[in-house]
Chains A and B, each alone.
Chain A
Amino acid sequence: MSERLVVRKTYKLFVGGAFPRSESGRSYVVTSAKGDFLANAARASRKDARDAVAAARKAFPGWSGATAYNRGQILYRVAEMLEGRRAQFVAEVVQADGVAAKKAGELVDAAIDRLVWYAGWSDKIGAVLGSANPVAGPYFNLSSPEPTGVVAVLAPPMGPLLGLVSVIAPVIVTGNTCVVVASERAPLPSITLAEVLATSDLPGGVVNILTGHQAEIAPWLAGHMDVNAIDLTGATPELAVTCEESAAENLKRVLRPPAGPVDWLVDPGTERMAAFLETKTVWHPIGT
């Protein structure tokens, strides 16, 4: 009996809910932690980044206008879908990170739990970051958090699934939309995650994932006048400086990269959500 032909997966980008190839037609070789060939991933260009920003902008009114309850449900749905493909993700994390299967299983579980954890925050973050402010006048004065807009996210190089989920979830749970530049070294789990997102009732364009060289794509996102914030978690120190300079042009919110290695298993707190929220304050006269 002849051996069955291997059906290999084509890793493409995730933009506006679809899976296009890079408009540049380029790809690059992705290897495992041990150096074995894994696949060719799409190498996104600045024009792919531009298209992704347009998709994220288009998705923003619908996503930010959805109820917090609805956004929480959808994030929970992402966790459900991820659970159903647990084995696939464990295998990909083993290849990408070179960890043992047991450890990889823990990391995938943590990623699923992280999504559930953030899903729960969707309708509670307002109560934590909002407030009724005492003011010296006859007014009710109320502050409530609102999403910043389109957020560019440079995913961390380590933690191909848990790290990625830990930077995407806090951005979108509050109503932002995002353009994620995946880990350059280990981009394959991000595209598999995109397949999960595409089947989780998440509206197209809320999360857009680009694979390729961060140093090539990030400066275009940092300078883009229609991007409202940038998360530099995955940036090298030099890239972070360049990006922060470009980001100043339209006063983007910038989340600087962490000082040292991050343990993604630790409870993240509300910091990442708070980083991409604006505060709206309303003065309301008392009486009629």
Chain B
Amino acid sequence: MVSTLTTPFAEVATSNASLRAFLHGLPGVDRVGADARAAMLATRSIKTTAKGQAIDLAIGMVDLTTLEGADTPGKVRAMCAKAVRPDPADPSVPSAAAVCVYPDLVATAVQAVEGSGVKVASVATAFPSGRSSLEVKVAETALAVAAGASEIDMVIDRGAFLAGDYLKVFEEIAAVKAACGRAGGAQRENGAGGAQGEQAAHLKVILETGELATYDNVRRASWLAMIAGGDFIKTSTGKVSPAATLPVTLIMLEAVRDFARRTGRKIGVKPAGGIRTTKDAIKYLVLVNETAGPDWLDPDLFRLGASSLLNDLLMQRQKMATGRYAGPDYFTLD
């Protein structure tokens, strides 16, 4: 599968030694500088009409997520209805970008969002720990794609990454990427993801930055995932604390920016976990605009993985429309 690469990085992935040489040859991250820059950008004041636009943009970027052991088909259908029409009383509210569920609930979700343009993402590859064999991970991916998922959120093997076995991580990502394309095919014509206009399911690679220990590792993992064929890099599963943080997202945005400069290919970024308020969401949008550039202010290249965030965005939207503070009593419980 290494031979399928057409990027300038084909020779990098020929052996663990060459991958290691490349990843460790990336410039180190200045931790204090990254923290300070993220904190500085977070102080930007976005008000009135700009805030209104940011809220609508953020709503359109939300991957509405439910990843609980207690998820039921009914809960998933309710969440899908919310993703399609976040505020039933106000048709001017845009739909969310996607819903994100476990593989066994993909079919339910696909049915629920059919024809709306909302995509269905599924976590796969032994989410959230990623501790299983490659066969199982590939099979799980194939099943999710066959059920109609147009996006696959895979987790990397953090154990292998931290042990320095970069080739193993690389090959897993490449194998899952291949499974995303293979199993899609015929299923995708009537699936919700048809709007994407291509056959293969999009692959989001979850780095689980909370377990990677250093910012240098975040940069390396980002590059590794991009070279291996990921379409998106995602911060976290949401099951580990810390989940998404601004500095980590900054480093990932720098990585996709630099990758696009070298290859011309734009990779998306998805912070997930711990983004609960409109203020947080707007901070991320500022970070995107100032780091990767305005091209990334698009649901195809930037997503927010969240569940409770959507209600806060809706409440802020209502506050701007009515001039009075909104209350959670008037929004769905989910």
Binding site for B on A (CB under 8 A): 50, 53, 57, 220, 223-227, 246, 249-250
Contact = CB atoms under 8 A, between A and B. Distances in A.
A220 B330 CA distance: 18
A227 B323 CA distance: 15
A246 B325 CA distance: 11
A227 B328 CA distance: 11
A162 B74 CA distance: 54
Nearest to A50: B325
Contacts of B328: 57, 226
Contacts of A50: 325
A249 B324 contact: yes
Contacts of B324: 220, 223-225, 246, 249
A226 B328 CA distance: 7
A243 to B, nearest CB: 12
B327 A223 contact: no
Contacts of B327: 224-227, 250
B329 interface: yes
Interface in B279-334: 323-330
Chain A to chain B: the 9 pairs with minimum beta-carbon distance, closest first: A226-B327, A225-B327, A223-B324, A224-B325, A225-B326, A50-B325, A225-B330, A225-B325, A225-B324
Contacts of A57: 328
Nearest to A250: B327
Contacts of B325: 50, 53, 220, 223-226
Nearest to A46: B325
Nearest to A149: B329
A59 to B, nearest CB: 15
A250 to B, nearest CB: 7
Given A220-B325, A225-B329, 9 more contacts: A223-B324, A223-B325, A225-B326, A225-B327, A226-B325, A226-B329, A227-B327, A249-B324, A250-B327
Nearest to B328: A226
Nearest to B325: A224
Interface of B: 323-330
B329 to A, nearest CB: 7
A134 to B, nearest CB: 34
Contacts of A226: 325-329
27 contacts: A50-B325, A53-B325, A57-B328, A220-B324, A220-B325, A223-B323, A223-B324, A223-B325, A224-B324, A224-B325, A224-B327, A225-B324, A225-B325, A225-B326, A225-B327, A225-B329, A225-B330, A226-B325, A226-B326, A226-B327, A226-B328, A226-B329, A227-B327, A246-B324, A249-B324, A250-B327, A250-B329
A233 to B, nearest CB: 22
A57 B330 CA distance: 14
B207 to A, nearest CB: 33
A246 B324 CA distance: 9
Contacts of A246: 324
Contacts of B326: 225-226
A246 B323 CA distance: 11
A93 to B, nearest CB: 34
Contacts of B323: 223
Greatest chain B CB density within 10 A among A220, A224, A225 is at: A225
Contacts of A227: 327
A53 B324 CA distance: 13
A250 B329 CA distance: 10
A220 B324 CA distance: 7
Nearest to A249: B324
A50 B277 CA distance: 14
Contacts of A220: 324-325
Contacts of A249: 324
A279 B302 CA distance: 49
A255 to B, nearest CB: 20
Nearest to A225: B327
A74 B122 CA distance: 50
Greatest chain B CB density within 10 A among A50, A57, A223, A226 is at: A226
A246 B328 CA distance: 18
A226 B324 CA distance: 10
A119 to B, nearest CB: 30
Greatest chain A CB density within 10 A among B325, B326, B329 is at: B325
B91 to A, nearest CB: 21
A165 to B, nearest CB: 28
A146 to B, nearest CB: 16
A250 B325 CA distance: 11
A249 B329 CA distance: 13
A223 B319 CA distance: 11
A69 B6 CA distance: 73
A225 B323 CA distance: 11
Contacts of A250: 327, 329
Contacts of A53: 325
Nearest to B318: A225
A189 B324 CA distance: 30
Nearest to A226: B327
A194 B71 CA distance: 44
A249 B318 CA distance: 14
A38 B252 CA distance: 54
